[in-house]
Structure 1
Amino acid sequence: MNIIIAADSFKGSATTFEVADFIEKGIKRVEPSAAVTKLPLADGGEGTVEALVTALNGRYIEKEVTGPLGKKVTAKFGLIDNDIAVIAMAEASGLTLIKKEDRNPFKTTTYGTGELIKVAFDYGVKEILVGIGGSATNDAGVGMAQALGVTFKDRYNKEIGFGAEALENMEYIDTSNIDSRVKNTKITVFSDVTNPLCGKNGASYVYGPQKGASIKDVERLDQLLDRYGKKLEEQLNIHIMNKEGAGAAGGLGAGLLAFCNAEIYSGIDKILEKIKLEDHMKNADLVITGEGKLDFQSVYGKAPIGVAKIAKQYNIPVIAVVGSEETSIIDVYYHGIDLVIDIINKPMSLNEAMENAYELIENAGEKVIRAFKLTNKKFTIEEEML
């Protein structure tokens, strides 16, 4: 029996590697001889660097950079064959770097992400892959661009500060001193969202609240990003406000499009391509995928659906192990997933579930293989009767 496990992390509870390990333990309780292939997975957010570095035998580079609130943080990125750098913006500008009570999207900056890009340039890479999930920012990538040499001046010709609040004073944009290596390096962005920069579906309205913004705040943040987008159009003839993914990571997508000539792709599709998932499918009997929470949004670029899409090309059954599921997940069954198994086995709080995630995931792994064997047994009996 050949089984592939390709599951995303359960945020705050288990990494993609840990999820796969514990599902495998559950499988081995029932089928000790099963051949299990574990492929690390991410969709552009948390775990992207680790997934690609592990799958492609890369190495890590650590660098002290500017954190989202201006304090120094140690961030790492991946280097693969000395040709490709893998950067997760969350390493330098992520929400997990800030205490909940300190979250403030008016002040947070992507400057540290720009610093990581510059360090990657120093290693002479030909391509930089940038995962832009899990941001603490809403500065439209202005901080990132500042780190690369773009200047944003106020009416007194002084450089504006960090964060979305500084966009109110921005009058002039000058790209003449941008790092020249930007032009010679392919920059590919991984994103699991397609939001535009502004509007009700834009960066501020959709993601601002989780970064500490009130209802009144998101209106103001949206106005600031709108002002910034119009300045780009007026002064540089750059039209990115309505491009898909421009609103990802508080508008970092827009900044990368505007100043780095980047291309934005579905994170999961590109990562599955990089780890060559399809090559492993040809001899598989079962594919197990999963993520921390499965809901109606999961069909829009999330890891389990990306895995299922490839599995179905080879008519392989797909079972998803999840930390939790909403009642409205019927759409996932029309996108290649055959069965969803929730790890929760009794009434419990979120904290209790997170504390016991390893045991719960292992138990779910056993349920997966028992369900699969039961289905196979039924088909075998029917075939014998025929």
Structure 2
Amino acid sequence: MKFVLIPDSFKGTLSSTQICEIVTGRIEKHFPGSEIVSIPVADGGEGSVDAFITAVGGEKISKKVKNPYFEDMDSYYGLIENGQTAVIEMASCAGLPLVEGREDPSRTTTYGVGQLMMAAARRGVKKIIVGLGGSSTNDGACGAAAACGAKFFDADQREFVPVGGTLSDIKSIDLSGMNQALKNVEIVAMCDIDNPMYGPAGAAYIFGPQKGADEKMVSELDQGLVNLAGVIEKTIGKDISQFPGSGAAGAMGAGMIAFWSAELQMGIQTVLDTVNFDDLILDVDYIITGEGKLDSQSLRGKVVIGIAGRAKKQKKHVIAVVGGADDNEIREVYDMGVTAVFPINRLPQDFSVSRKYSKENLAYTADNILRLIKSKM
């Protein structure tokens, strides 16, 4: 038999790779000799580069860049598809863990992300995938753009590299110096949220507090994004502030569109395209996927639904193994291509208790699913 394993992580308990390993062990017990294809899912945050390399092969390239406070640090990006595609996770040089104990989105930068993009482009890649997740920033990608040759000027025509707290000082942007190495590179940003650039549902108000912003700073950051959106509109002739996902990663989503004409794409769709999923499942018997909690958010195109949509076109069986499921919110999943949903928790326990037994519970659930499959053969 052929199985394709492509689960999202169970946040706070099991990584996507761990889930693949546990389920693989159960399959090998019940269906020895089966073909098992494991595809750890990358969501754009920390671990995305490793996930892509594990899924399709490739190499990790080290690069010294600037961290969120413009200090030198060792970072990396991935090269896959015979060096034709680069994978960058912005968390690797602009991530929240890098500023632990000194969180301040009014001062942090995405400059290092731009340096990674330039390094990849100079290697001759045809495509760059940028994961927008886990950022400590709120600079609208201005730092990254500056690293790629964009120039930002204040009211006195002085050039500067904007950070979250100085976006309001931007009066004009010159994109004519953007490095030519990136000109013919396809750029895709992995983005799983649809928040606008600013406003009550925007980057500052929704994500600023978890990055260290108090109420006053949130308001100031939001005003900075309003100003940036206006200057961008004057520069490129397009208002991108309400574009779904423009508020991702401190409005990095907006900057990706404005400065690089990038496509914002749901992370799972990026993964599926990269691993040639549609061809991979042509002869598959079962696809096993899953995520920590299946709820109304899942229906917006995240991992399980993204996979089910592709599989449904080929009438393939999709089994979702999940940490928990809200039955009232997920009835639609069966019409969207999911064959069956199996929560792993066996006893009525609080998450603080059950999380300690996630490995055992997952193995037990996978074992029973496979026993059922075997009984029907």
Q: Give the distance between the partners of 2:108 and 2:363, measured in 1 at CA.
A: 38
Secondary structure of 2:183 counterpart: helix
Q: Give the distance between the partners of 2:68 and 2:326, measured in 1 at CA.
A: 32
Q: Give the distance between the partners of 2:152 and 2:353, measured in 1 at CA.
A: 47
| Residue aligning to 1:363 | 364
| Residue aligning to 1:66 | 66
Q: Give the distance between the partners of 2:277 and 2:342, measured in 1 at CA.
A: 22
The answer to whether the 8 A contact 2:108-2:136 is kept is yes
| Residue aligning to 1:226 | 226
Q: Give, in angstroms, the shift of residue 228 of structure 1.
A: 0.8
The amino acid that maps onto 1:67 is N
Q: Give, in angstroms, the shift of residue 232 of structure 1.
A: 1.4
Among the aligned pairs, what percent are the same residue?
38
Q: Give, in angstroms, the shift of residue 114 of structure 1.
A: 0.7
1:277 to 2:282 alignment: no
The answer to whether the 8 A contact 2:299-2:330 is kept is no
Relative distance call for 1:355 and 1:145 in structure 2 (3 A) is: farther
Q: Give the distance between the partners of 1:223 and 1:345, measured in 2 at CA.
A: 49
Q: Give, in angstroms, the shift of residue 162 of structure 1.
A: 5.0
| Residue aligning to 1:177 | 177
The answer to whether the 8 A contact 1:187-1:263 is kept is yes
| Residue aligning to 1:333 | 334
Q: Give, in angstroms, the shift of residue 145 of structure 1.
A: 0.9
Secondary structure of 1:62 counterpart: strand
Q: Give the distance between the partners of 1:313 and 1:177, measured in 2 at CA.
A: 45
The answer to whether the 8 A contact 2:129-2:190 is kept is yes
1:204 to 2:204 alignment: yes
Alignment of 1:274-353 (within 5 A): 274-326=274-326, 328-346=329-347, 350=351, 353=354
Q: Give the distance between the partners of 1:152 and 1:350, measured in 2 at CA.
A: 48
Q: Give the distance between the partners of 1:245 and 1:355, measured in 2 at CA.
A: 34
Alignment of 1:217-256 (within 5 A): 217-256=217-256
| Residue aligning to 2:51 | 51
Moved more, 123-132 or 357-366: 357-366
Q: Give the distance between the partners of 1:315 and 1:33, measured in 2 at CA.
A: 24
Secondary structure of 1:296 counterpart: coil
Deviations 1:239-282 (A, max 9, x none): 32122322222211111211112222222123202201222322
Secondary structure of 2:187 counterpart: strand
Moved more, 63-72 or 349-358: 349-358
Q: Give the distance between the partners of 2:158 and 2:358, measured in 1 at CA.
A: 51
Deviations 1:211-240 (A, max 9, x none): 333455433322221111001123443432
Q: Give the distance between the partners of 2:287 and 2:301, measured in 1 at CA.
A: 18
The answer to whether the 8 A contact 1:10-1:16 is kept is yes
Q: Give, in angstroms, the shift of residue 63 of structure 1.
A: 1.3
Q: Give, in angstroms, the shift of residue 115 of structure 1.
A: 1.0
Q: Give, in angstroms, the shift of residue 350 of structure 1.
A: 4.8
Q: Give the distance between the partners of 2:351 and 2:113, measured in 1 at CA.
A: 32
Q: Give, in angstroms, the shift of residue 107 of structure 1.
A: 2.4
Secondary structure of 1:19 counterpart: helix
The answer to whether the 8 A contact 2:198-2:204 is kept is yes
Relative distance call for 1:224 and 1:367 in structure 2 (3 A) is: farther
| Residue aligning to 2:259 | 259
Relative distance call for 1:159 and 1:294 in structure 2 (3 A) is: farther
The answer to whether the 8 A contact 2:168-2:223 is kept is no
The answer to whether the 8 A contact 1:160-1:167 is kept is no
Secondary structure of 2:195 counterpart: coil
Relative distance call for 1:106 and 1:349 in structure 2 (3 A) is: farther
Q: Give, in angstroms, the shift of residue 353 of structure 1.
A: 4.8
Relative distance call for 1:69 and 1:326 in structure 2 (3 A) is: farther
Q: Normalising by the residue count of structure 2, what TM-score does the alignment of the two structures yield?
A: 0.89
| Residue aligning to 1:381 | none
The amino acid that maps onto 2:231 is K
Q: Give, in angstroms, the shift of residue 120 of structure 1.
A: 0.8
The amino acid that maps onto 1:332 is V
Gap regions ≥5 residues in structure 2: none
The answer to whether the 8 A contact 1:105-1:208 is kept is yes
Q: Give, in angstroms, the shift of residue 373 of structure 1.
A: 4.5
Q: Give the distance between the partners of 1:104 and 1:359, measured in 2 at CA.
A: 40
The answer to whether the 8 A contact 2:152-2:162 is kept is no
Name segments (4+ residues, structure 1) moved above 6 Å: none
Q: Give the distance between the partners of 1:263 and 1:333, measured in 2 at CA.
A: 29
Moved more, 332-341 or 344-353: 344-353
Q: Give the distance between the partners of 2:345 and 2:213, measured in 1 at CA.
A: 31
The answer to whether the 8 A contact 2:196-2:203 is kept is yes
The answer to whether the 8 A contact 1:268-1:303 is kept is yes
| Residue aligning to 1:190 | 190
Secondary structure of 2:307 counterpart: helix
The amino acid that maps onto 1:365 is A
Q: Give the distance between the partners of 1:280 and 1:342, measured in 2 at CA.
A: 26
